[in-house]
Structure 1
Amino acid sequence: MESALMLKKATYHLWTFAISKLISSFGAQVYSFAISFYILQMTGSATSFATNLLCNILPRALSAPFAGYITDNYSRKAIAITSQIATTLAIGGLLFISLTSGLSLIAVYVTTCILSLTSMFSSVAFTSSISGLVDEKRIQKAMSLNQMSISFAAIGSPAVGGLLYGAVTMPTFLITYIVACCIAVILESTMNFKLFANRKEQNVEDKKESMWQSMKAGISYLKLQPLLVAVIWIAFSVNFLLGAFEVGYSYILIEKMKMPSQHFGLTEGAFAVGMLVVSIYFTIRKEVSFPLLVSKRGIIAMGLIMCGIALPLLLSMSYWLVFTYYIMLMFGLGAMVIFVNTPMQVMLQKKIDDDYKGRIFSILETMSLALMPLGMILYGFLYDVFPAQWILLLSAALLIGIVLILARPSVLHKAHPQLIRGRKLNGETGAVS
């Protein structure tokens, strides 16, 4: 009877979590859209726009180690709800300034910094709590619903923001975001973050552990998990080398192909649609038996798609063929991102001890945030110096080569001992590659 009640609560958590993430993600992206337009219209300065982006990235990178420590040592539910309340208060403060003295760049920058901090703590707390909110069999579904929420927001928020911007005032945007945050707080407060958690009870002495000692313990734990180390290095490599795509894609389509902004927007929309379609697929299919193998093949496919982006620079193609071709590529890339991320996230949720999840996920977040701007700066320089097609082809080759080494057959067998070469297990190809 108790088991049936827990499963019922897990189902409630599953959908409440998805709805909460959809509402908060949609509100955040509509707000981001409005603020970006506001800064560019008010100043006309790319520097001001870039400064706001920096205010979004830098606090996240600096606060990630603190977020991991706090998440592993205090109530994750309290952290998630406090972060959401802090977001609401920050937007409320910006609304007050807007109504009393008018928006200023300083007020926008300060608010962006606060939102960056709150989103970091909320993200680490929720990511670390997935295995506590739902039963093990539905972790994949929870991660897929999370991706679906983000994809829905990515597809819908620019359209809603574009329709509203100019038709309503900035205070209306801010009030909309505040309402979304309040709904998210109410939904999150009804969830039991410890329902399936397997955290050790800490005594008074354990709680005296300093942040530095806690971080060292997290790194020591990671060193004893060679499989996790391999997965993290794969994630870092993908984040860095995808900088070739992040910078090169826009450069090729806008600068080289002279594609109009409307068509360019449609190709980017295809990316979000690809993510959404595969996220839906993962919510209804059974859990992946060999997540590392699936992620490996997904990364190889991403590398091949990166090669494909360079093809129109090497071959003569008509404009409409190029446009259709890039829509198909972007749909495929969006699909592969979910094929890589979802199995990998499920694997991390199951392999990492509950008491260390906050610190491990914060390490992942810190390194990802550090590598993304580094990759973009490096590739921005390379695209100014070398032909775009060769940068993409070389980066794709490096990506495929690295994943073949880091996820070699011996590593796959450690991750999935039941994986047998040349056989089909549980409906999946068992051939190790």
Structure 2
Amino acid sequence: MMSIITDHQSNVQLVKDFVSNFVSAFCGNMFSIAMGLMLLHETGLSISFGLSMIIVPLVDILGLIPIGNLVDRYRHKPILVINFGVRIGALIGYMLIINQFNGTDRLMPTLIFLIINYTTVSINNSGYQASVHELVNEAHIQKLNALSQSATSMAIIFSPLIAAPLYVILGFKTFLKFELIANLFALIVLGTMRFNEKKTLATNENRKRPMVLFKEGVSFLMTRRELSAFAIGEMVINVTAPLINIGIPFMVVHHLHADNLTLGIFESAIAVGLVIGNFVLTLVPTIKRIDWTTIGGLSAFSMATIIVGVIFNLHWDLSRLRIVGSVVLILMGISLAILNTPMATYIQKTVPTKLLGRVSMTLTTLDMAVMPLGTVGYTVVFQQFANGLIYVFSGSLLMIYTGYFWRQLAAVFPAKKQLDQVNQVKAKS
């Protein structure tokens, strides 16, 4: 039996989770930037800043079955503690050997370290997603997700401002130390967090083959029409992600011929929007109508995408471009927060705890698997046709998909509501 988690205990867990996530994300982002700069300096290869875009999807695909089953088989806190130990060990090993390599020879030890690191990140993310019911009570799940996203977004805003100047002054070795301290800090915070842990799978469940356990998670996902719709919706959003992380830098520099300050303002604006959106979600009650919320978020994101395309084609002066563009991108960030956080909360509340690791890992892998497709596709399009019409066209397609998505959810949620009413009547009788 799991004891009841009080509101006070939940609030304490929220603070610990926020602080740990912010420190980890802040130092992790600085470390990634410093590593990219180091590799670019040593190798001269443009791929220096794009290794994660190759490794992360590969790790998620290969780890889909073992990681999901691992998280659902065993207690979460020991998994997370051991996982941190592996990451810290890999980081120490990398610190000890990296200076023994020079030039392009540094790529191999870096690749090995990144594979281990991103594997631990995948386990960590799945473990935490499956642990929400052990960390906070149901009323605080939305706050937990929103604060976690806020911490990550705040780190995205501030870490680039500090990483590049510090790298010039301190060098890569100092960033290795920062990352080690951040991971040790996160491990200490994790040790103080109280996991109201569930039991491991029953003996007969543990005897099942990994593929059988994995299929159970996939089968559950496919039988829940709203979860399947959410999965496809997330994949569609991730396919269009290069509009932000590739398209905006390319359009600002090559199409608008604006300066780096404008690019920095635009990139920070999206993160500011994510922080604002998630902060609002920590203050409002748990969202009941997930269908209306996701449709509203997707519609707002689609409209913001279209407006960004129009702005890019107007060729305004820098002042007007910065002001109007940043406002629209802040609204885009808010719409992403409203779209993603309530959806994650709904999944965590409705998927049985014993399946949550496998389901969340499957959803994450699907999301990451489509990102390279969008990256390659939009890279080619922007290279051949650098124009704001790319955003207008993409946003219009998203609006059309939003209509289809709305029909899918409208067919599911009324039926689900009726089923809930029938179950309530049965329970009373």
Tell me the TM-score normalised to structure 1 length.
Answer: 0.89
Q: Give, in whole Å, the separation in 1 of the partners of 2:263 and 2:14.
A: 35
Note closer, same or farther for the CA distance 1:95–1:249 as it changes in structure 2 (3 Å cut): same
Specify the alignment match of 2:426 in structure 1: none
- What's the offset of the Cα at 1:53? 4.2
Q: 1:146 aligns with which of 141, 148, 152?
A: 148
Structure 1 segments unaligned to the other structure (5+ residues): 419-433
Counterpart code for 2:321: V
Specify the alignment match of 2:358 in structure 1: 359
Specify the alignment match of 1:396 in structure 2: 395
Specify the alignment match of 2:271 in structure 1: 272
Note closer, same or farther for the CA distance 1:55–1:230 as it changes in structure 2 (3 Å cut): closer
C-alpha offsets along residues 18-52 of structure 1, whole Å, 9 cap, x if unaligned? 22212221221111111011111222221444346
Q: Give, in whole Å, the separation in 1 of the partners of 2:280 and 2:160.
A: 24
Structure 2 segments unaligned to the other structure (5+ residues): 420-429
Specify the alignment match of 2:371 in structure 1: 372
Specify the alignment match of 2:229 in structure 1: 230
Specify the alignment match of 1:421 in structure 2: none
Specify the alignment match of 1:85 in structure 2: 85
The answer on whether the counterparts of 2:56 and 2:368 sit within 8 Å (CA) in structure 1 is no
Note closer, same or farther for the CA distance 1:414–1:237 as it changes in structure 2 (3 Å cut): farther
Specify the alignment match of 1:413 in structure 2: 414
Specify the alignment match of 1:430 in structure 2: none
Q: Give, in whole Å, the separation in 2 of the partners of 1:130 and 1:5.
A: 11
- What's the offset of the Cα at 1:78? 1.7
Specify the alignment match of 1:425 in structure 2: none
Q: Give, in whole Å, the separation in 2 of the partners of 1:160 and 1:151.
A: 15
The answer on whether the counterparts of 2:68 and 2:126 sit within 8 Å (CA) in structure 1 is yes
- Find out whether 1:221 has 2:202 as its counterpart: no
- What's the offset of the Cα at 1:268? 0.5
Q: Give, in whole Å, the separation in 1 of the partners of 2:140 and 2:97.
A: 44
Specify the alignment match of 1:36 in structure 2: 36
Please list, as runs of the form range in 1=range in 2, the aligned pairs for 1:286-365 lying within 5 A after superposition. Answer: 286-365=285-364
Q: Give, in whole Å, the separation in 1 of the partners of 2:392 and 2:62.
A: 33
Q: Give, in whole Å, the separation in 2 of the partners of 1:79 and 1:207.
A: 16
Q: Give, in whole Å, the separation in 2 of the partners of 1:93 and 1:299.
A: 44
Specify the alignment match of 1:255 in structure 2: 254
- What's the offset of the Cα at 1:241? 3.1
C-alpha offsets along residues 200-257 of structure 1, whole Å, 9 cap, x if unaligned? x633221011111111111111222112112212111222234444433222211110
Bigger CA drift: 100-109 or 172-181?
Answer: 100-109
- What's the offset of the Cα at 1:392? 2.1
Q: 2:184 aligns with which of 182, 193, 197?
A: 182
Counterpart code for 1:117: T
Specify the alignment match of 1:424 in structure 2: none
Q: Secondary structure at the match of 2:194?
A: coil
The answer on whether the counterparts of 1:84 and 1:185 sit within 8 Å (CA) in structure 2 is yes
Specify the alignment match of 1:158 in structure 2: 160
The answer on whether the counterparts of 1:263 and 1:323 sit within 8 Å (CA) in structure 2 is yes
Q: Give, in whole Å, the separation in 2 of the partners of 1:61 and 1:169.
A: 34
Specify the alignment match of 1:428 in structure 2: none
Bigger CA drift: 338-347 or 317-326?
Answer: 317-326
Counterpart code for 2:167: Y
Note closer, same or farther for the CA distance 1:21–1:387 as it changes in structure 2 (3 Å cut): closer
The answer on whether the counterparts of 1:65 and 1:359 sit within 8 Å (CA) in structure 2 is yes
Q: Give, in whole Å, the separation in 1 of the partners of 2:227 and 2:4.
A: 33
Bigger CA drift: 213-222 or 402-411?
Answer: 402-411
Note closer, same or farther for the CA distance 1:322–1:414 as it changes in structure 2 (3 Å cut): farther
- What's the offset of the Cα at 1:304? 0.5
- What's the offset of the Cα at 1:414? 4.2
Q: Give, in whole Å, the separation in 2 of the partners of 1:412 and 1:159.
A: 44
- Find out whether 1:76 has 2:107 as its counterpart: no
Counterpart code for 1:271: I
Specify the alignment match of 2:19 in structure 1: 19
Q: Give, in whole Å, the separation in 1 of the partners of 2:335 and 2:171.
A: 39
Task: Please state which structure has a larger fraction of its residues in helix.
Answer: 2
Note closer, same or farther for the CA distance 1:316–1:6 as it changes in structure 2 (3 Å cut): closer
Specify the alignment match of 1:171 in structure 2: 173
Bigger CA drift: 157-166 or 337-346?
Answer: 157-166
Specify the alignment match of 2:427 in structure 1: none
- Find out whether 1:65 has 2:65 as its counterpart: yes
Q: Give, in whole Å, the separation in 2 of the partners of 1:97 and 1:314.
A: 49
Specify the alignment match of 2:202 in structure 1: 203
Q: Give, in whole Å, the separation in 2 of the partners of 1:73 and 1:19.
A: 28
Q: Give, in whole Å, the separation in 2 of the partners of 1:234 and 1:176.
A: 37
Q: Give, in whole Å, the separation in 2 of the partners of 1:5 and 1:310.
A: 47
Q: Give, in whole Å, the separation in 1 of the partners of 2:217 and 2:252.
A: 43
The answer on whether the counterparts of 1:33 and 1:161 sit within 8 Å (CA) in structure 2 is yes
Q: Give, in whole Å, the separation in 2 of the partners of 1:337 and 1:242.
A: 11
Q: Give, in whole Å, the separation in 2 of the partners of 1:359 and 1:384.
A: 38
Residues paired across the two proteins, number: 415
- What's the offset of the Cα at 1:96? 1.1
Specify the alignment match of 2:423 in structure 1: none
Q: Secondary structure at the match of 1:388?
A: coil
Percent identity (aligned): 22
Note closer, same or farther for the CA distance 1:109–1:316 as it changes in structure 2 (3 Å cut): closer
Bigger CA drift: 167-176 or 329-338?
Answer: 167-176
- What's the offset of the Cα at 1:137? 0.4
The answer on whether the counterparts of 1:34 and 1:165 sit within 8 Å (CA) in structure 2 is yes
Q: Give, in whole Å, the separation in 1 of the partners of 2:368 and 2:262.
A: 29
Counterpart code for 1:337: L
